[in-house]
Amino acid sequence: MKEKILKLLKDSKNEFISGQEISQQLNVSRTAIWKYINALKEEGYEIESVSRKGYMLLSTPDILNYEEIRKYLETKHIGREIFYFDTLDSTNLKAKELAANEQKEGTVVIAEEQTNGRGRLGRSWSSPKKKGIWMSIILTPEIEPTDAAKVTQVAAAAVWKGINEVGVKTQIKWPNDIVLNGKKVCGVLTEMSGELNRLNYLVVGIGINANMSDEDFPEEIRGLATSLKIELNKEVERKELIGRILNNFEELYEELIHNNSIDKSIKICVENSALIGKDVRLILKGKEEEAKAIDISKEGELIIQDKNGDISKIISGEVSV
Ligand code: BT5
């Protein structure tokens, strides 16, 4: 009901809508409306109420619920259900819990803050309140478990495109980073549940440093991390960016679902790669190696050439330039 009232307020932009009209349209009592209006005010919506005129929405807060993101969404199913939290340990953990119960393709979990944000291999991901985008997408594609890594490339390409659409040109650092001026601005964490030959579900976690200042980062990563705000010198509209990323994600992900191909995503990842054509250091199974990054395969693997000229493919790992 609260969402419905908010929608009516938004629809009658810059004009008062009377309590009576809301009450008639939604079949709800005037006292109940008053309670919902107060709840909205508490969430940060600025609503003017004038007796005999009714209510007028003056401003909407910078929050990431479905109602706020909806107007930027052009998707059929990705993000059409959003679970929104003020604080969570980790959106990936919550998404896995939801997926284990419902397994609903396209459901998105968003939190304003993560108290135990996670990176790969048990590393942590710094996620201060309202400064970034911390979200996870639940997916149930009919692909082999061995193909799960492809979805990381799809997500990286979708984030690259979304950020590009708001005017920032980033680079993709295979397999799961987006970098800006050599510093990390986004990380992707794809986790899956499945058996040897059957995938139950995937959770794609995306963390984007949107509006952090330098001092919002823990000291130990200040030299390695950056935000869109630091590089642009102005705040970015988080809800718009989420909308754009989800729109691009759906388009690129459909190629995987319908054609079992991720060519479009790979093209974006190669053309905007921070690694291809460069000499890189790899950590593979604990061992450090030097090689040249030459391409990304259709499967999403990094193709490298070692000092002896031998070419090989790697499916995951740590790479630095
Ligand atoms: C990643 O891991 O880059 C994946 C990060 C995924 C985060 C999202 S947020 C929503 C969802 N819910 C979660 O709990 N996680 C996902 P990895 O490649 O392992 O990089 C982790 C390393 O990046 C850390 O060890 C730090 O050095 C660095 N780091 C931590 N927080 C950072 C930040 N906010 N910005 C840039 N670098 C960061």
Q: By three-state DSSP, how is residue 75 classified?
A: coil
Name the pTM for this structure: 0.93
Q: How far apart are CA 95 and CA 136, in angstroms?
A: 6
CA of 205 to the centre of ligand 1 (A): 10
DSSP-assigned beta bridge partners for residue 114: 88
Domain ranges of the chain: 2-59, 66-271, 279-320
Q: Is the ipTM of this complex over 0.95?
A: yes
- Which residues does a 6 A CB cutoff place in the pocket of ligand 1? 90-92, 114, 117-121, 123, 125-127, 134-136, 176-177, 184, 187-189, 205-207, 209, 221, 224-225
Same fold, 2-59 and 279-320: no
Tallying the residues shown for the chain, one arrives at 321
Residue nearest to atom 21 of ligand 1 (CA): 119
CA of 86 to the centre of ligand 1 (A): 19
What letter would DSSP give residue 124? B
Q: pLDDT below 70 — which residues of the chain?
A: 103
Q: Name the class of domain 279-320.
A: mainly beta
> Ligand 1 test: best mutation among 92, 123, 125, most atoms within 8 Å of CB?
125
CA of 178 to the centre of ligand 1 (A): 11
Task: With CA atoms as reference, report the closest residue to 245 among 221, 228, 259.
Answer: 228
Q: Which atom of ligand 1 is nearest to the CA of 92?
A: 12
Residue nearest to atom 37 of ligand 1 (CA): 225
Residue nearest to atom 9 of ligand 1 (CA): 207
* Encoded tokens for 176: 């799961």
C-alpha to C-alpha distances, 134 to 27, 55, 88, 249, nearest whole angstrom? 36, 33, 10, 16
CA of 122 to the centre of ligand 1 (A): 10
CA of 138 to the centre of ligand 1 (A): 18
CB 266: neighbour CB atoms within 10 A?
Answer: 21
Residue nearest to atom 34 of ligand 1 (CA): 126
Q: Which atom of ligand 1 is nearest to the CA of 227?
A: 35
Query: Which contacts (CB < 8 Å, 24+ apart) does range 95-98 have?
Result: 95/136, 95/137, 95/138, 95/203, 95/205, 96/191, 96/193, 96/201, 96/203, 98/138
Where residue 265 falls (left for φ over 0; alpha for ψ -120 to 50; beta otherwise) is alpha
* Encoded tokens for 280: 């890189």
Q: How far apart are CA 187 and CA 315, in angstroms?
A: 17
Mind giving me the DSSP string for 41-69? Answer: HHHT-EEEEETTTEEEEEE--S--SHHHH
Which pLDDT value is given to residue 317? 83
Residue nearest to atom 20 of ligand 1 (CA): 119
Considering the domain delimited by 2-59, tell me its CATH architecture.
Answer: Orthogonal Bundle (1.10)
Question: Which residue type occupies 158?
Answer: A
Half-sphere exposure of 308 (CA within 13 A, CB side): 4
Cβ atoms of 208 and 185 closer than 8 Å: yes
Q: How far apart are CA 195 and CA 169, in angstroms?
A: 39
* Encoded tokens for 191: 């986790």
First to last CA, the chain: 53
* Encoded tokens for 285: 């199974």
CA of 36 to the centre of ligand 1 (A): 37
Cβ atoms of 95 and 107 closer than 8 Å: yes
CA of 170 to the centre of ligand 1 (A): 17
CA of 207 to the centre of ligand 1 (A): 7
| The CATH fold of domain 66-271 | BirA Bifunctional Protein; domain 2 (3.30.930)
